[in-house]
Amino acid sequence: MEQSFFKELIRYNKPKESPFRLIGAGLCMISILFTGYLSHQLAVASFGSLGIFTFLYYQNLPLKQLVLRLSIIGSFLTLGNFLGMLSTHADWTAPIVVALIGFLGRFFFRLHGIAKPGPFFIVMVTAMGTSTKIPLTKIPLMSGYFFIGVLFAIVFAVIIHFIEKAPLPTTKTAATLKSRIADDPAVIIESLFYSAILFFAVYLSMGLRLENPYWLIVSCAAILQGDTLRAMAHRNIQRIFGTIIGLLIAAFLLNLSLTVFETLIVITLLFVTVEYFIKRNYAIAQFFTTPMSLMLAMLAKQQYIYTLIQFRFLGIVIGSLLGLLAAYLMHISFNFYNRKFRPNE
């Protein structure tokens, strides 16, 4: 019997996963944050914390394949953020950069069967780059800080690989790019549609002149992570509701006048909490994603609290609704496409 939409919305999943991966994620975050703190370079903490998202692509694979996988993804993340920062020196290039990275990410991750989070974090760090105005001469240094986070992620992934001692999956024969496309011919059209939506999202965020406009872009990309139109509708409601609760938590935390040391501890705890709930209930995860993101933004820019909260809310609501609209248009378009090429169905 099919569950009601509301029951699906509040369903609490119980995935089977190793607790070591959650511990590894927390160690990655606290290591890079305190590397920046102890070196008196909070830019290391701010940019490196983005690089450690590489760890979230950890999978139970032979060591050589695991290191290769994370190295490629980490380099992709670094490149996306680097190009995003470069685009701030020619604003008209920002939509092109995000759309190009979105297309390559969607295309590559789908063809190689890399499950969620898929290209989401690639798009996220690229969009964050387009919202980070940094002098041209300092961009390579910031990318270096970012890559330090990638290295931390790979090191802790190798450690977790040996601690878990889980049975390895059967190795599959490597397929050529041509054969992968033949097995999934819709990948090119779907990736183009995805990149076009991101292109529009960047223009919209720039036109609305939102503070930290990447929040709109990231919200749009997050909704498009759903596997079906119904799942995307779930995400839309969960993300908006979760953000409202998250903003209340953020307002409380940001008014506590925490020291930098205490802030880093709280960010780490929030990060681990998000990773725990993200596979269990997306709305609950958003309770903690919002304060974590705002505290990282405060750490990097020391912006006015209520300005951040206001624009975070606007960006997420508009981005989520845009993502849902785009998902609906994509769904309708592919239905017409299938009718055209399958007239007998």
Residue-wise pLDDT for 255-267, tens only, equals 887 888 888 999 9
Predicted local confidence at residue 265, as pLDDT: 92
Output the pLDDT for position 269: 93
Amino acid at 102: G
Angle at 58 between CA 291 and CA 165, to 5 degrees: 125
H helix count then E strand count, the chain? 14, 0
Q: What is the value of pTM for the model shown?
A: 0.86
> Across the 345 residues of the chain, what is the mean pLDDT of every consecutive 10-residue run?
57 74 90 90 87 89 89 93 91 90 88 77 88 88 93 93 74 68 77 88 82 78 74 78 85 83 90 87 84 76 55 77 80 67 47
Domain ranges for the chain: 18-169+177-341
Q: Residue 164, exposed/middle/buried by CB under 10 A (0-12, 13-18, 19+)?
A: middle
How far is Cα 6 from Cα 150, in angstroms, rounded to an integer?
A: 39
Which residues contact residue 204 at a Cβ distance below 8 angstroms, ignoring those fewer than 6 apart? 216, 318, 322
Q: What is the helix (H) or strand (E) element at residue 181, kind and residue range?
A: helix 177-183
In the prediction, which pLDDT does 153 show?
94
